[in-house]
Amino acid sequence: MNREQSFLFLSRMDKYLQQIDRALEMIEVGTYGICRVCGKEIDEARLKAVPTTRICFTCKQNEAKAAR
């Protein structure tokens, strides 16, 4: 790996670790698995696929639509 590649790799790792940190925080305060947009429980299958997610599939789709 050259310098630039390792920098990119590390900054990506850092982001990932931040997301895990946040997920752990949510577990502590009991909001893990709750969508931050609509407040509903996030589908278990989705949580397993993306453990650091903070919004449910429906809201994710809405966001993607809004971003377009």
Q: Which residues bind Zn ion (CB under 5 A)?
A: 35, 37-38, 56, 59
Of the two residues 26 and 37, which places its CB atom closer to Zn ion in the complex?
Answer: 37
Strand partners, 34: 41
Of the two residues 1 and 66, which places its CB atom closer to Zn ion in the complex?
Answer: 66
Return the residue matching tokens 């449910």: 56
Distance (Å, whole) CA 42 – CA 58? 9
Shortest Cβ 34–Zn ion spacing (Å): 9
Supply 1's token pair: 């790996």
Shortest Cβ 5–Zn ion spacing (Å): 36
